[in-house]
Every structure is written in C-alpha cells, then in structure tokens.
Amino acid sequence: RLYQSGTIVEKDFEEAARLGGIVGIRKELPQDKGQNVGLIRYQRRFEYGFNEVSKTLFFRAEKEFVGNEKFNCADTPWNKYSKICTSIMIVDRTNSIGGMAFSNLTSLKSVSIPSSVKVIGDSTFSNCSELESIVFPDCIESIGKSAFSGCKSLKSIRLPRRIALIEERTFERCSNLTTVTIQGSLKSIGKAAFRGCKGLTAFTFPDGLTFIGENAFEGCDGLTSVEIPRTVKSIQRGTFLHCIG
C-alpha cells in the first residue's frame, strides 16, 4: 500500500516536547518504502509519525523501540490518536517492541511488523479491542505476557516457528479467536494463556509440548476437542475449568 500526505505539524512538536522527549528533528520515511510522512524523534530513541489520510501510525528505530515494561501508551504523544488510528507500520531495522507500547488503541485494526523484529514485550497490544489480524514474522523469538490480552476482535493467529513458550495471559480474553496455528518447537503454555477465548472449538497441542499452565484454557466454553501429545508431562490445575462445550 502507498500512503501519501500526512505532514507532522508544529503542534505535534510542542506536545511531544511537553511529554518529555523531542529532539527537534523532522524527517521523511525513505522513498523506497513508499511513504510520505513527516517523522519526529521521541526520547532520543526512535521516530514516529501519523498519516491523517490513512489513519496509520509509523515507527522507526535502529534497534529497540520502547523497551520498558513500565512504559505506558497513555503517556506518549501518539496516545491522542488512540481513537482514530486504524493501523500501525513499524519500519524495518527495529528489533524489539517494548511493553505497553500500543495498549488501549481502541480503533486499531491491523499491524505490520517487519522481519527484523525478534521480541514483542508485555502487554504491547493489550485491550486493542478492534485488532482483527496480525502477521508474525518467523524471526520473532518471544511474545510477552498479556501481549494481546483483551484483543476481542482477533480471529486467528499463526505463531512463529521460534516461539518455545506462550507466556502468561498472552491471548487471554480474545473472545472471538477461533484458530490457533502452532509451528515449530513449542514447549510450554503459560498460566491463563488462552483464558476466556470463547470462540475456540478445538485445539491441537504440538508434539514436543511438555507443560500446560494453570487455567490456561479456563472459560473456553466452546472448546469441544483437544489433542494432547504424550510429551506433555504436566497439566496444572484449572487448565480446562468451565470448558462446558
């Protein structure tokens, strides 16, 4: 897709400065990316911009983007777009997306993650209630706790091959999630990882899985079929509590 216009205006600089991080640099995204969006540097660590036409937030970082689990989207200059931003594009070369970076963006529908990203932090997209789809590059090695909790419009996920652990509450309360495709060498499913995923009707655990955590599928009341391999050594209490399907 090609995004045009959407220049950052002076009031964006003023607000970013007020929130503590602007370094007064204004740039354009590379032309080979097909973007014409003004970017401003925030907290000396990365750049962001918003396209008013496409309702897209753009981010670019040489390495880490917001690598702090205490980070809160509500404290950022892009929080003002939380009710109108429908998509996020993270430009290549960013290798991690930190905790709570995009939590509570209630109009967000899609996210573009580049192949350079290896880590998605805790609660990064939590309570993005309109998020419908996300494509994980195979290079992703870690998805944090509660990363997609409360994404109730999310319908399907395909986990990257390098994911060995689904953390606690990663997909909790994704109530319309119907399909989970697991690839590679998954070893462990954490506490409440899929709790409240009422849309799940079946779940196939991969060979090599050894641990299923407490309340992992609690309240998945549409669940009628599971296949558990012999490699599983531990199923914690409440794993299938209230699975009445």
Note the pLDDT tens digit of each residue in 40-86. 888 777 888 999 999 999 988 776 665 444 566 777 888 899 999 99
DSSP H stretches of helix in the chain: 10-18
Question: How far apart are alpha carbons 234 and 28 in whole angstroms?
Answer: 52
Burial (Cβ within 10 Å: 0-12, 13-18, ≥19) of residue 134: buried
Note the pLDDT tens digit of each residue in 113-131. 999 999 999 999 999 999 9
Question: How far apart are alpha carbons 166 and 120 in whole angstroms?
Answer: 12
- Reported confidence tier of residue 153, pLDDT bands at 50, 70, 90: very high
The pLDDT, as a whole number, for residue 66 is 54
Strand ranges inside the chain, DSSP E: 22-28, 38-42, 46-51, 56-60, 64-65, 87-90, 96-97, 110-112, 119-120, 133-134, 142-143, 156-158, 165-166, 179-181, 188-189, 202-204, 211-212, 225-227, 234-235
The pLDDT, as a whole number, for residue 32 is 35
The structure's pTM equals 0.82
Instruction: Specify the higher pLDDT residue, 71 or 135.
Output: 135
Note the pLDDT tens digit of each residue in 167-181. 999 999 999 999 999
Question: How far apart are alpha carbons 103 and 24 in whole angstroms?
Answer: 26
